[in-house]
Amino acid sequence: MIKEQLEESVAYLVSKGFDKPEIGIVLGTGLGRLVDEIKNPIDAYYNHIPFFPLATVEFHTGKLVFGTIEDKKVVVMQGRFHLYEGYDFLDITYPIRVMHMLGITKLFISNAAGAINTNFKKGDMMLIEDHINLQGGSPLAFKNVSEFGERFVDMSEPYDQNMRNKLIEIAKDNGISLKSGIYASVVGPQLETKAEYRMLKILGADAVGMSTVPEVIVANHLNLPMIAVSVLTDECDPANLKPVDINEIISIAEKTEPKMVKLFKELIKQI
């Protein structure tokens, strides 16, 4: 059933002019302005795409945008889906499978996250080198998953080493601070308690968020090389914890976004 739904979604997008994109990009909370860099954009709103979920978070726009960046064809997902919205793992990762069927051969993901590592500060960016899945499930745990790829997916190196190395060099060349670390993905939508932040630190997490890991698992299932960058929007030090203002989180993400756009544009140029 899901295969037929995917085919219908893809057929609609092809009819709109989505013509063999090379790179798929998922934009996180407060990180939507990369779409301003797209030349000759074609929009497809989620509510018009057959079988596509709808973004319910107020600061997530719900559309796919096709066009070119640095002379490469891209499809950008402006507005993603989360467990805390009531979606299941198949819904959350449905767009990754659609973009893959459209033809993408690389995937970039961004997100907003909280800094667990006390050496990281608000406004820093972190290149994800590994992750901890604390969302209590898997997007591959369904009956006919083997129709789409190997059921038992290797996750020894989920984030593409070659693209990570390129991003690190791009950051150095452009004087942009880019940390590296481990991302823990939780359900949300509530923020963590002091005890939970202490637990995450013990587990080895450098940052925590409520997205990304399901998409990463599916990308690996599809043998789709990918990278992910977190914009760190708050500091999660249990010894000095302050109440979180969601508007401040959005504001910090927006201020940091131009650096992320620069990194992504340069990486698109080089791959």
Residues sharing a CB contact under 8 Å with residue 195, sequence separation 6 or more, in sequence order: 238
The residue with greater pLDDT, 54 or 73, is 73
253 vs 234: CA distance, rounded Å? 10
Query: Per the structure, how many domains does the chain have?
Result: 1
Position 60 pLDDT exceeds 60 = no
Confidence band of 57 (pLDDT split at 50, 70, 90): low
**CA atoms within a 13 Å half-sphere pointing along the CA-CB vector of 43:** 10
On average, the pLDDT of the chain sits at 94
Cβ atoms 155, 49 nearer than 8 A:
no
Local structure of residue 239 (DSSP, 8 states):
G
pLDDT for the residue 87: 94
CATH code where residue 55 lies:
3.40.50.1580
254 band by pLDDT with thresholds 50, 70 and 90: confident
Cα–Cα distance measured from residue 262 to residue 126, given in angstroms and rounded to the nearest whole number = 14
The residue segments making up the domain with residue 134 are: 2-270
Q: 118-151, pLDDT tens digit by residue?
A: 999 999 999 999 999 999 999 999 998 988 888 9
Q: Token pair 């789409």 is at which residue?
A: 148
